[in-house]
Each structure stands twice: as structure tokens, then as C-alpha cells.
Amino acid sequence: MELKKKEEQVLLLTALVGCGKTTLVKMLCWDDEIKDESFSSSWCNIQVPKVEALVLNFQSRNYTLPEFLEKMVELKVIIITNYDIFPAELSNFQLLKSLPNLKRIRLEKVSIPSLCNAPVPLRSVKKISLFMCNISQAFGNSTIQVSDSLPSLMEINIDYCNDLVELPTWLCEVLSLEKLSITNCHKLSALPEGIGNLVNLEVLRFRSCTELSELLESIRSLHMLRILDISDCLSIIELPKHIGELHNLEEIHMKKCLKLRKQLPPSTVDLKQLKLVVCDEERAKLWEPIKESFSGLKVMVAKEDINLNWLQK
């Protein structure tokens, strides 16, 4: 194994079974007491204050963030990935509040602890990505003071989080949010009425949320919205009545919305900035009667995409 040079600002720490991680840590820390099975909780006091990106890979049912994390004051990006079959219980999450420059968090296949019992202020974080995580405990019945905890958050990506049934109401208080992407969350069935409060939102994506049955009328207040993606939302039966109030909307993606067969709302013709509609052949027919009302509108029929990648997840 090759150690990174001192001037480099990325620290990669892996914890996969049999990869030599214990040997490496002993070399770094001169700690003969470190055991493989206690790797995640036996980190020595590594001093890496200038590191800006940290990748933690492991394979376990439980994982404790190392204590030295709170001293990484220049850290901007943290990526935590669990390679086990089941999501890992993540502890020591509160250490992240000690990182004044943290901008991006990406978590894969972990169970996020409850945010309502122990709020973790993440005042500098701009982007959070959650992939195949258990998040219902973190989101459920939380009373987060968003103005204190997430004042800088601009982007949330949630993908394949199968225990997400409804969005938490506090999410509607993240007024700095510009992009909300929720994809492949097949149990998501309800949106909070307050979603219209996200007045700075530019991208709203609910792709492949197969149980989601409607877009609330309150989205009419999202006047900054440029892209709306409801592709593969099999249960949505109609577009919001006042969708025409989204005066900056440029793109609508609505392929394979199999239950969306009703005539488009009359207000649709008020979408004067609309340039692109991506849909399937059946949904394309809904646009034919009003297409002449738009200047330069392109209705693009998406090719059939047979994607079996989800079988590997």
C-alpha cells in the first residue's frame, strides 16, 4: 500500500474484510492492540487537520465514526459507504457538527440515527445524498429547527431509500433548497402541503416513486422551478390544476406515467417558458391539442429503456 504524500488533501480509509486495513493502521499509529473486529471503534488519534475529503468504506452491521473526525476542521466532503448486505447502524453522527467547513455528505446503505432526539447542526452543508439508506427514523416526527440546523442546504438527493413513506414537514422549511431529487423510493405516497414553501426550488424530481398518486396544488408557488420530473410515477393520474403558474418551468419529464390519461389542465398553456417535454407515446398525445400554443416546444418521445440494474441493488 502507498501512503499519500503530506501535501495531498484527501484521506482514503477503507475497512473491507481482508484488504490489509489493520496492518495499515498499525503502521500509521504504532498500535499493536488494534484488532480487525474492532476496527471502527479502535482508531488511534490521527492528526489530519488539513484533509478536505474523507472516504470511509466498511462492511459491518454497526459502525462508529472515528473520534478524530471532529478535529478535521478543513473537511469539506465526507462519503460513507457500507458494503454489507444490510444497512449499518451509524453512531457518533454528532461528530459532524464539529466540522465548520463541511459542504457535502454522501451516505450509502446506513441507518441514520434519529434527528429529533439528538439534532445535529450542519450549518455549512450544501448537499446531502442518501443511497439505499434507512431514513424513516431520522425523518419521522422530527421537530428540527431548520434555520439553526440546515441554513445553507441547497440540494438533497434520496435514492432507493425504501422506508421513505412520506416527506417530513420540516423539509418544507429548508428555504435555501434549490434541488430536491427523490428517485426509486417506491413506498413514497404522500407529499407535505408545505412543499409550496420551497420558493427557491429550481429542480423537483420524483422519478420512479411508483406509489406517489398526486402532485399537490401548492406546487403552484414554486415560481423558480425550471425542471419537473415525474417519470415512471405509475400512480399519478393528473397534473395539478394550476400548473400554469410555474412561469419559469422549462422542462417536464413524464414518461411512463401510466395512469396519467386525463386531458392536461387548461392552465398548461400558460407555461410560456416550456421548451421540452419528455414522455412516452401515449402521454405525447395529450400535448397534441395544445402544442400550437407554445413557441418552439419540443415533445420528445423517449425510447424504451429496459434497465435491469436495480436487480443488483
| Three-point CA angle 228, 229, 233, nearest 5° | 135
**Length of the chain measured in residues:** 313
Confidence of residue 114 (pLDDT cuts 50, 70, 90): low
Closest CA to 216 of 234, 227, 230: 230
**Cα-based angle 306, 307, 311 (whole degrees, multiple of 5):** 130
206 contacts 213 by C-beta, under 8 angstroms: no
The whole-number pLDDT of residue 75 equals 96
Instruction: Supply the pLDDT for residue 52.
Output: 96
Give the start-to-end residue ranges of the domains of the chain.
1-153, 156-304
* pLDDT number for residue 8: 46
The pLDDT tens digits of the residues spanning 244-272 come to 999 999 999 999 999 999 999 999 999 99
187's grid cell: 413506498
Instruction: Provide the sign of the torsion angle of the four alpha carbons 243, 245, 246, 250, taken in this order.
Output: positive
Instruction: Single out the residue of 157, 170, 149 nearest to residue 130, CA to CA.
Output: 157
Question: Which comes out higher in pLDDT, residue 87 or 7?
Answer: 87
Domains 1-153 and 156-304 share a fold: yes
Per DSSP, what are the bridge partners of residue 179?
A: 155, 203
For the 1-153 domain, the top CATH level (class) is alpha beta
With DSSP H G I counted as helix, E B as strand and the rest as coil, what are the percentages for the chain, rounded to 5? 25, 20, 55
Question: Model-level pTM?
Answer: 0.84
Q: Are 103 and 124 in contact (CB under 8 A)?
A: yes
CA 14 to CA 256: how far, in whole Å?
40
pLDDT at 218 over 70: yes
Q: Tens of pLDDT along 41-89? A: 456 667 788 999 999 999 999 999 998 898 999 999 999 999 999 999 9
Mean pLDDT of 206-224: 96
Taking only the tens place, the pLDDT of each residue in 142-167 is 566 776 788 999 999 999 999 999 98
Assign a CATH topology to domain 156-304.
3.80.10
